[in-house]
Amino acid sequence: MDKLLTAIVDDHPIVIEGLKQLLHNEDNIQVIGGFGNGESILAYLKLNKVDLILLDISLPDVNGMDLCQMVKNESLSTIILILSNHTERSIIMQTIQNGASGYLLKNSSIDELRNCIAEAVKGNISFSKEVVEIISRPSKNQLQERPRLTRREKEILALIAEGKTSQNIASELFLSPLTVDTHRKNLIQKFEVKNVAELIMAATQLQLL
């Protein structure tokens, strides 16, 4: 299996070195370098392939939330995982909206990091345990009513959250892909969200997953 070409973006050299040491023995990861600011990783991305970026929110020249979007504009296939000390729910949600595939606090274990990387590679959005707890607490403005879901919608929502395609879900539930797509559209409408990533976030916040 090809190794994930991984960049670490953090303005603390000691954090970069620590992560390099931690990831040194991972079979599926090759750390290609550490970058102290947004500008340097964007310049590197213009000329080089990067599969995975471990990104801090606090950087000297740009905030990590904005940098997520810039990285995705430069290289859509690059997976971004946030590694930060920021525990504000709004920051966590914004990074996901801007293209990050997951969010971990810096006190996470190597196992949590490993699991989050594995999930992100599969195309799922992943969080460390503490972050799940933070986003599960509804914020004041998100104490909205839970959408009323049919039993079928609940089944399909759970399978979407597992990262399954309409085709997979259709064969698992003996439905046509078109029916599954209709349910998917209805779910997006009921939750008043724009896409599947937001649907999963909203369902997690309302403790429906």
- Which residues lie closer than 8 Å to 186 by C-beta, 6 or more apart? 153
pTM tops 0.75: no
* Secondary structure (3-state) at 48: coil
| Residue-range domains of the chain with CATH | 4-136 (3.40.50.2300), 141-205 (1.10.10.10)
**Of 140, 156, 133, the residue nearest 207 (C-alpha):** 133
- Which residues lie closer than 8 Å to 85 by C-beta, 6 or more apart? 58, 105, 106
The pLDDT score that the predictor gives to residue 139 is 58
Range in 22-26, 34-38, 137-141, 148-152 with the lowest mean pLDDT:
137-141
Interval 38-64: pLDDT, tens: 999 999 999 999 999 999 999 999 999
Interval 119-149: pLDDT, tens: 999 999 999 999 998 888 765 545 556 788 9
Task: Give the pLDDT band of residue 25 (cuts 50, 70, 90).
Answer: confident
What count of other Cβ atoms lies within 10 Å of the Cβ of residue 16? 21
Q: How high is the mean pLDDT of the chain?
A: 92
pLDDT at 20 over 70: yes
Question: How far is Cα 183 from Cα 122, in angstroms, rounded to an integer?
Answer: 23
Task: Give the pLDDT band of residue 14 (cuts 50, 70, 90).
Answer: very high
